[in-house]
Structure 1
Amino acid sequence: MHEKAIAILPARGGSKRIPRKNILDFHGKPAIGWPIQAAQQSSCFDRVIVTTDDAEIARVSQTLGAEVPFLRDSTLADDFTGTTDVIRDAVEKLNLPPKTLVCCIYPTALFLSGNDLARGKDQLTENVNWVLSLGEYATPIDRAYGMIDATGRVAARNPEKMPMRSQDLEPAYFDAGQFYWARAETWLDKNARVWDGAASVILPPERCIDIDTPTDWRRAEHQFALLEMEKNASSHPD
């Protein structure tokens, strides 16, 4: 039986560190166009919706095939409003049934794939409240250091783990910042926390680039070009 699923992309207009980043050109397409395309190609969703406070972002999103059924209130588009608050607002406005599958997709998830989304959807079962995208830390965080004063002196955060071999330490993961699956009723629960009752989709390191700063953006441009070169080379072998 087909379960109704909705993709919601939260894309505010007031990005400070990279102005207009959600619709900034990225390899020939507005940035938000890449995750919209991934959502469309995944065959997971009945609707792909953008929630924004910005008329230009709304227009661009509609041109790319997404729906913008309302403009978000400016009080939910400041530097302090959390993602869950924004998605909750959209779920309420859309009047979604409690069991509807809802996937929050970040508008600068430039390396998102439809397969990732489909894998996440499959994991959202009765015993799983959330499914999120994760990346693996390149080195064991159990052997991390912390600054202990302004002179630059450091101390081991877990001294007992420092003598251990890297291969003997458990891997650790970080939020890759691409998507979160949950049912509408979970998004509406103000006490629900993404890390409670969660499953995950582990992404390869070459696709784990969170776009927060101009340096992140430049790194993403280079990485995207490299992945495209590799893709073309594999499809046209000598």
Structure 2
Amino acid sequence: MSGCIAIIPARGGSKRIPRKNIRLFHGQPMIAYSIRAALDSGLFDRVVVSTDDAEIAAVARECGAEIPFVRPDDLSDDYATSMSVVQHAIRALQEQGAQMEFTCCIYATAPFVRPSFLAEGLARLQANPNASYAFSVTRFPFPVQRGIRINRMGRVEALQPEYRFTRSQDLEEAYHDAAQFYWGRTEAWAKDDLLFSELSIPIVLPRYLVQDIDTVEDWKCAELIYTAIAARDNLP
């Protein structure tokens, strides 16, 4: 078995930002950025979008992706996981005769995903045969040990009071999922190997290239970041 396939999940039922996968972001459908990064990387034999939505499918095709199957309704609601969507896509493609050693899930709302980091993820995974996945992470901008909660009285409590007086430079640096891409050995996806575990290799991204886009506020932050990067790099 050989080859690499990109799978971009893009359901039609986004509620907090309606139609966000194809909503225009700096003049392009949001999903276009993920498709273009996958195509420009030259890493993939096929770039596939998994969707239940005809309009998303049409936009994805215009951007250069394939839609070789329709995602079933039971994997298109608010409770469907990325793992189950990727597993379904792998099965559907294998039933059509596809063979791939590596499968990369790229989120449809990742306008800052870069071909260079996709390439690093694949190279690191190939160089580590005991690893199942390689995925994007970034550093927390503030020590997580200093996190606080607002209690029922509307007052502040330390989540980890034992670190209240520890110098920030003495605290362990923490990372979080950057929600851009997830390389995996196809057999690891199929076996349901844990993603957030010692089986995974972190691909560390700079914080300025990371922005979750789940709310309108997130979208506005992403637009501001993209505007700054575009001005610096003379992007359209």
Partner of 1:136: 139
> What residue ranges of structure 2 are gaps of 5+ in the alignment?
none
1:177-235 deviations in whole A, cap 9, x for unaligned? 00101011111113x211121111111111110100011111111110111111139xx
Counterparts in 2 of 1:58-97, with a 5 A limit?
A: 58-95=57-94, 96-97=98-99
Partner amino acid, structure 2, of 1:151? M
Partner of 1:236: none
Q: Structure 1 CA distance, aligned partners of 2:223 and 2:148?
A: 31
Q: Structure 2 CA distance, aligned partners of 1:232 and 1:55?
A: 34
Partner of 1:219: 221
Q: Structure 1 CA distance, aligned partners of 2:15 and 2:27?
A: 22
Partner of 2:18: 19
Q: Structure 1 CA distance, aligned partners of 2:149 and 2:218?
A: 24
Query: Which of 165, 184, 198 is matched with 1:182 structurally?
Result: 184
Partner of 1:104: 105
Q: Does 1:200 align with 2:199?
A: no
Aligned to 1:36, what secondary structure does the other structure show? helix
1:55-111 deviations in whole A, cap 9, x for unaligned? 1111110111101001111111000010000000000011154x6100000001110
* Superposition TM-score, scaled by structure 1 size: 0.92
Partner of 2:168: 166
Partner of 2:148: 145
Q: Structure 2 CA distance, aligned partners of 1:154 and 1:47?
A: 50
1:108-132 deviations in whole A, cap 9, x for unaligned? 1110000010011111131111111
Q: Displacement, 1:165? A: 1.0
Aligned to 1:32, what secondary structure does the other structure show? helix
Q: Structure 1 CA distance, aligned partners of 2:229 and 2:58?
A: 29
**Seq. identity, %:** 44
Q: Displacement, 1:3? A: 4.6
Aligned to 1:58, what secondary structure does the other structure show? helix
Q: Displacement, 1:170? A: 1.1
Q: Structure 1 CA distance, aligned partners of 2:137 and 2:231?
A: 25
1:124-154 deviations in whole A, cap 9, x for unaligned? 131111111111101110111223x311223
CA RMSD of aligned residues (A): 1.5
Structure 1 runs (4+) deviating above 4 angstroms are none
Partner amino acid, structure 2, of 1:206? Y
Partner amino acid, structure 1, of 2:109? T
Partner amino acid, structure 2, of 1:200? P
Q: Structure 2 CA distance, aligned partners of 1:211 and 1:133?
A: 15
Q: Structure 2 CA distance, aligned partners of 1:210 and 1:93?
A: 29
